Chains A and B, each alone.
Chain A
C-alpha cells in the first residue's frame, strides 16, 4: 500500500536497543519482550506435536530432522563453508549407526552418540584436503562426494549394498523419540546462536567475510574451518543416526540429493544467516510437502510454485521479515 506524498518511517523500538544488552533489562515487560518470540515456538511445537495423530507425529520428526540439517547448513555457510552436501554428513552418521547396531549389536543409546561423533569426524577427515577451497569450489566437492559414495556402495556391495541394512533397533517409544528430537533441535539452534555470540564464533564469521584478513591477524583459518566443519557435520550425523533408528533401516537413499537440497531451500525462504530462519523454513516446507500429497503428481508443481512465491515476495526470508516487524515501529510521515 502506497500513499501519495508519504513515506514509511521505520524506527527501532527503544526496548530493542536496550534489550540488545542483557544488563539493561529492568522490567518484566522487557524480559517478556525477549522471551515471547522464543517461548512461542518452543511451547507451540511441543504442544502441537503431542496432540497430533501418529502419522503426523512422524511428520514432525522428519521436520525436526530437516530443520536441524538446515540450521547446520546455515551454520556452515556463516563460517565460510558453502556446502551442497549435507547428505554426506547425514549418510555417514546413518551408516555408522546402522553398522554399529547391526554388526556389533550395540544398543541405541550408544549408537546415536557414537555415530554423531564418528560421523562428524569422518566427514571432517574426508573434506580436510579441500578445506582450503573457497565458495563454489568447496561446494562442488561436497555435492559430488555423497553421489560417489552411493555408487561405491552399489559397486562393492558393502554394508548390504543396494539392499541396505534392515531390522535395526527401533526407537523405544514414540513419545520419547519425539521429545528427544524436538529437544535436540532446540539445543542445536540455541547452542549455535550462542556460539556466534562468542569471540570464537566471531572469528568464524570473519573468515567468511575476509579470510586473508583473518590470516593476516595471526589466526590459523584452516583449524577454525575444520572445527566448524566438525560441529556442522556432527549435527547432521546425529540426524542421520536418529532417522536410521526411527525407520529401522539404512541404505543408499540416505545419501540422496534431497537431504542436501531441501535444507538450502529452507534456508533460502527462512532467511540465510539467522540460524532460526532456516529452522522456520523447514517447518514451512516439510509439512507443506505432506499437505500437498493429496494432489498426487501435481504436488511438485504446487510445491515449486509456493517456493517461487516465497522467494520473490520475501527475498530477505521469513525470519528477517518477522524480526523486523517485531523490533521496529512503522509509521507514515509526510514528505515535505
Chain B
C-alpha cells in the first residue's frame, strides 16, 4: 500500500474547477514531482492534502488514516508537513527562534520522550543542516533582513524540525538562482537517503526531473499524465499543455 493515497479529490471555488477527480499514490521514500501550467491546481492540491482547504469530495489517506476533515495542525503532527510557496517567516524573530515554533509542537515533544530539551541548540543544529553557517551571524539575524534564498531554506528547516515523514514542498525553487538551487538539491537527496517521502510542486523542470522518481502533470484541475520523468518529456499532450509545442 502506498504511504499517501489521494483518491479522486475535487474542489471548486465558485464556478472555477480548481481540481477534478485527481488521484495520486505516493510510495514511501520516493520523490513525486507535481507540475503544470499556472492555475492548473497545484497549490490547491497541496492545500487539500494538508488540510488548509477542504475538498468537495474524495479521500486522502496517510498510512491508511483519513486526513480529510482534520485541521492543518493535526495533519502536520501526524507527519505530513508542507512548505509554503510564499515564504512568510516570523519576521520579528531571529532565524533560529523561528524554529522554536515547530519545535514546540506535539509531534516533536512525542518524538523526544515527552521533553523538549534545549530548543535553541536543536534549532541551530537544524539550521546548520540547511546551510546556515553556525559560526556566522546568519542564524542570529532577524528573519526580516534575510535574503530570499535563506528564507526558503528556513521553510525547509521548519519541516526538518518537525521530523515529518512526508515533505510537501510548494515551489521551493521559485525565485532562487541556479547556484542556490544546486546547493539545496543535496539537502533533498539527503532527506531521501534518510527514508523520507517528498512531494515537490515545481516550475523548474530541469532540476526536478533529475531527482524525481515519478511526475504528475496537472492541467486545468485534471491529471493529464503520470509517469517517470523520461516519459513525461516524451508525451505529446504534456508538451502541448505545458511545455509549449516548440520544445
Contact = CB atoms under 8 A, between A and B. Distances in A.
B11 interface: no
A174 interface: no
B114 to A, nearest CB: 16
18 contacts: A199-B100, A199-B104, A200-B104, A202-B100, A202-B101, A203-B100, A203-B104, A206-B90, A206-B101, A212-B88, A215-B71, A216-B50, A216-B76, A216-B82, A217-B102, A217-B162, A218-B162, A219-B101
Contacts of B88: 209-210, 212-213
B104 A216 contact: no
A323 interface: no
Contacts of B52: 212, 215
Name the 3 nearest CB pairs between A and B, nearest first. Answer: A218-B105, A218-B76, A217-B102
Interface stretch (B37-45, B91-99, B126-134, B233-241): B91-99
Interface string B94-131: 00010011101111100000000001000000000000
Contact of B84 (A199, A205, A212, A221): A212
A206 B162 contact: no
Nearest to A209: B90
Interface string A202-234: 110110011011111111110000000000000
B100 A215 contact: no
Given A199-B119, A206-B101, A217 B76 contact: yes
A198 to B, nearest CB: 10
B90 A210 contact: yes
Interface residues of B, number: 29
Given A210-B89, A213-B88, A220-B73, 4 more contacts: A200-B104, A205-B90, A215-B52, A216-B158
Interface in A161-220: 199-200, 202-203, 205-206, 209-210, 212-220
A251 B214 CA distance: 69
Contact of A213 (B71, B84, B97, B107): B84
Interface of B: 50, 52, 71-74, 76-77, 81-82, 84, 88-93, 97, 100-102, 104-108, 119, 158, 162
A214 B108 CA distance: 14
B84 A217 contact: no
A201 to B, nearest CB: 11
Given A203-B104, A212-B52, A219 B73 contact: yes
Interface SS of chain A: helix
Contact of A203 (B74, B77, B101): B101
B73 A209 contact: no
Contacts of B82: 216
A205 B101 CA distance: 10
A17 to B, nearest CB: 12
A202 B73 contact: no
Count chain A CB atoms within 10 A of each CB in B50, B89, B90, B119 and give the residue with the most. B90
A217 B88 CA distance: 13
Contacts of B73: 215-221
B107 A218 contact: yes
Nearest to A273: B92
Contacts of B158: 213, 216-217
Contacts of B97: 202
Nearest to B107: A218
A217 B97 CA distance: 13
A213 B100 CA distance: 12
Given A199-B104, A203-B104, A215 B72 contact: yes
B54 to A, nearest CB: 14
A171 B37 CA distance: 71
B138 to A, nearest CB: 18
A219 B107 CA distance: 9
A317 to B, nearest CB: 16
Given A202-B101, A203-B100, A221-B73, A216 B84 contact: yes
A213 B90 contact: yes
Contacts of A221: 73
B67 to A, nearest CB: 14
A293 to B, nearest CB: 41
B81 A216 contact: yes
B112 to A, nearest CB: 14
A219 B81 CA distance: 12
Nearest to B97: A202
